[in-house]
Structure 1
Amino acid sequence: MTSSVDTALKQEYIVKGGNKLFGEVKLSGAKNAALPMIAAACLGEKFTVLKNVPTSLKDVNTLIGILQELGADINVDGTTVSCKRGGFPNQKIAPQRASEIRYSLLLLGLTAALGEQLELPLPGGCKIGDRKYDLHILGMQKLGAKVEENERGIYLESHLLVGNNIEFYLPTTSGTENVMIASVLAEGNTTLLNANTRPEVIQLADLLNAMGAKVSCGNRVVAVEGQSVIPGGVEVSVMPGWDEAVTYAVAAGVTGGEICIPNFNTSFIKEDVRYLNLAGVQVFEWGSSLYVSGKGEKKTFDLFTAPYPGINSDMQPIFATLALAAQGTSTIADLRFTDRFQYVEELKKFEANINAFGNTAIIEGGNPLKGTKVRATDLRGGAACILAGLFAGGETVITNISQIHRGYENIHEKLSNLGADIHVK
């Protein structure tokens, strides 16, 4: 099997539309759950073993490599990753490639928890608008860490963290995770208000508790009772990729196919499923599997992104593609990242009738799409281009596919196994 890292070195996806997707697709571990779990596992004195890690994803490989270079003891065996602190941090300046991924910000929480110092280059990730990291800095400072910004990046110095009440002005997933990681070794209690308590955050809390922390997650509230040590030495499996599940469900929808996703249920995607059903894509559970039928007529919908349990901003490009398959007008409003609409210009190249104004995309669906050459502007925008190519007439060429490989493991192979005509050139 060719890994996503290997294929990311190649240039393009070639997609020929018109094939209906049928069959079974197995999900990889969730990237956005695995990344904070890897960082948190490095708090432990003993090896913590993480199973079902999507180790062929670029972002996962990058974070593991950075942590190893900074002295963390990490071993990778297939989809199993074993982590402990080791000598982290063995230097005061993080490698420059930490700027490639946004989740490198979690090195701040890890460093603060361990009472060390580190200079971190400014984080990367998808270019989808004003993705501030001020709440990360606020959280570290509220716990007593010294944080400064300079032309090189973010400098953090920590000695003894003390628990505190911290309120975010808006929910942030990685900011919540950073404070959780930092505060488990702080003196006293920490309460984080207006936290983003997504399923990935809840699994991080479960991992930290298994390692010896005391963390509770409620509805937008996280409470941490600081401990003197985090032993580690446990084994936890990373949750399946719910975002991947929604993407393949939409793929079945736009092609008029039927797929089965084994060992997955709707518990993490209830709002996504509600919109899929509204759009005419039938989703239901049977036994331990999820079944999706896209054979019915597609219907228009009006979608607003929102903090969990609402639709994640990540998913709006995926739902925009589904709207193109429905006859009539749909709207999608993104209340967080207005610049996530960069993908709209790429979808227009398919002769799609879609326009973005401010924080809203207006989609006139039901018109035939024509294959074209497009660029993956970011992770989900690239996935949306693949989806459009699956039901467009003719051939579609997608460039900059390394963006797609940041979050989808072996996506072209999985789609090929469902009957799609897609390959890497």
Structure 2
Amino acid sequence: MTATLTGTKTFVVTGGNQLTGTIKLSGAKNAALPMIAAACLGEEPTLLDNVPVELRDVKILIQILQESGAAIEVNGSTVSCARGSFPNGSINPIASEIRYSLLLLGLAAALQSELLLPMPGGCKIGDRKYDLHLMGLSKLGATIDETEEGIHISSKGSVGSEIEFYLPTTSGTENIMIAAAIAEGTTTILNANTRPEIMELAKLLNLMGAEVECSNRIVQIKGVKSIRGGVRYAVMPGWDEAVTYIVASTMTGGEICIPDFSLDFIKEDARLLKEIGIDVFEWGGAVYASGKKEKRAFDLFTAPYPGINSDMQPIFAALAFVANGKSTITDLRFTERFKYIDELKKYGGSVHAFGNTAIIEGGRRLQGAEVKATDLRGGASCILTGLVSEGVTIISNVSQIERGYENIVSKLQQLGANIESRIS
């Protein structure tokens, strides 16, 4: 499932081009991953369309599920998933490279099984606890032990419970939804994250035979005896990808069209973009954005949905370089998510970070630099900054970027960016 490349892969960006054109979005990574896991509850194969199968995180999740007995087949961007004999063996250590491997715990709990999961990974963006996952699964009746080898879970059947999170967690909510789908009684998650990916997961589970209701910050799951599956559902478009390409185009003064997308997925992002001076509107089933106008400085505070997701603050940090005045970005979720700021400093702009806040003064001349993708979104921020810098930018550790953006180089090239991938 995973390709091996010889040499070091970098992205090389030459700034100065205006980005204009049409981009078709891939499926949303953070919607596809829990859907793949949830589809493995089904006794019959469920077909998921629009899966971003080229993303490394998606490849790894499919690989570890297949190796542990799930019946998964990939055909283009369609993935067929069923329970198979999951779990029937040890989990590949590669599972430690992605955070969404945690969902195997909920899957094992639902199927009254046991497994040993290597410690989960993902972006290093500060304190990313998984205690809420373990607390919720324990309340459903699972026995959990943490050792140096990983997280061991065993379950003889889940029993519904009321579970209250001290903060809304996306993957934690998804894990409990999967675990409680086949349970005795009703499970209620209070202070759940109910962003669009959660709503889409609930729709899929209900089609498969579960009984899930979502409202603002509350998810209720009425346990059923079995999940039949045997349905077909499309993964929602990548809203995070949409925001990234809107910013990429408009910060260069260009214009972009994104077909088959709705601003309903990015209401707060769109509101802030308009406040900054970017024209964003929806017409004929597509989203359009133009960056021809002067851009104003802004203040951004991340928040759970419907607020602006923490994932997007590095993208807006790049945009701040072309806005007139000082912009502030405060992350109220991952307070240490500013490692990428040290990389942005290399472009010569005025950018500083302290505590959970970054301050960026726009309008200064930027120069291409050699930088490193510290994490997924921080790496994307480096690309965007390179697009408006003079000269050449070389970005290393690009595997981080490729964890969340499918074919990002070719998509930016479609818009007119001077960017290429090199192996040296």
TM-score tier after normalising by the smaller chain length: over 0.9
| Match in the other structure for 1:421 | 418
Deviation at 1:340, TM superposition (A): 1.1
8 Å CA contact 2:15–2:389 kept in 1: the answer is yes
| Match in the other structure for 1:25 | 23
2:76 to 72, 75, 78: 78
Quote the RMSD (CA, aligned, Å): 1.3
Query: What secondary structure is seen at the aligned counterpart in 2 of 1:94?
Result: coil
- State the alpha-carbon separation in 1 of the partners of residues 35 and 158 from structure 2: 21
| Match in the other structure for 1:16 | 14
Map 1:368-383; keep pairs closer than 5 Å.
Answer: 368-383=365-380
Deviation at 1:8, TM superposition (A): 10
- Summarize deviations over 1:387-417 as a string: whole Å, max 9, x none: 0000100000000000000000000100001
- State the alpha-carbon separation in 2 of the partners of residues 382 and 8 from structure 1: 21
- The answer to whether structure 1 residue 226 and structure 2 residue 217 are counterparts is no
1:48 to 41, 46, 67: 46
Paired letter, 1:49: L
8 Å CA contact 2:2–2:60 kept in 1: the answer is no
Query: What secondary structure is seen at the aligned counterpart in 2 of 1:283?
Result: strand
Deviation at 1:254, TM superposition (A): 1.1
1:407 to 381, 389, 404: 404
Paired letter, 2:377: R
8 Å CA contact 1:47–1:84 kept in 2: the answer is yes
| Match in the other structure for 1:311 | 308
Q: TM-score, normalised by structure 2?
A: 0.98
8 Å CA contact 1:4–1:410 kept in 2: the answer is no
Measured at CA, do residues 9 and 184 of structure 1 come closer, stay the same or move farther in structure 2, by a change above 3 Å?
Answer: farther
- State the alpha-carbon separation in 2 of the partners of residues 339 and 421 from structure 1: 32
Identity percentage of aligned residues: 64
Matched residues, number:
422
- The answer to whether structure 1 residue 164 and structure 2 residue 161 are counterparts is yes
Deviation at 1:368, TM superposition (A): 1.1
| Match in the other structure for 2:347 | 350
1:64 to 51, 62, 65: 62
- Which runs of structure 1 show a deviation greater than 2 angstroms over 4 or more consecutive aligned residues? 3-10
- State the alpha-carbon separation in 2 of the partners of residues 6 and 79 from structure 1: 21
1:150 to 144, 147, 150: 147
| Match in the other structure for 2:108 | 111
| Match in the other structure for 1:279 | 276
| Match in the other structure for 2:253 | 256
8 Å CA contact 2:250–2:290 kept in 1: the answer is yes
Any gaps of 5 or more consecutive residues in structure 1?
A: none
Deviation at 1:16, TM superposition (A): 0.4
Any gaps of 5 or more consecutive residues in structure 2?
A: none
Paired letter, 1:136: H
Single out whichever of 4-13 and 113-122 deviates more from structure 2: 4-13
Deviation at 1:9, TM superposition (A): 7.4
- State the alpha-carbon separation in 1 of the partners of residues 32 and 13 from structure 2: 29
- State the alpha-carbon separation in 1 of the partners of residues 324 and 157 from structure 2: 60
- State the alpha-carbon separation in 2 of the partners of residues 256 and 57 from structure 1: 29
Map 1:126-141; keep pairs closer than 5 Å.
Answer: 126-141=123-138
Paired letter, 1:235: R
- State the alpha-carbon separation in 2 of the partners of residues 412 and 6 from structure 1: 19
- State the alpha-carbon separation in 1 of the partners of residues 134 and 99 from structure 2: 14
- Summarize deviations over 1:199-243 as a string: whole Å, max 9, x none: 000000000000000001100000000000000000000000000
Paired letter, 2:20: F
Q: TM-score, normalised by structure 1?
A: 0.98
2:393 to 391, 396, 414: 396
Paired letter, 1:218: S
Paired letter, 1:200: E
- Summarize deviations over 1:61-118 as a string: whole Å, max 9, x none: 0000000000000000010000000000002x31111101000000000000000000
| Match in the other structure for 1:217 | 214
Paired letter, 2:267: K
| Match in the other structure for 1:36 | 34
Query: What secondary structure is seen at the aligned counterpart in 2 of 1:290?
Result: strand
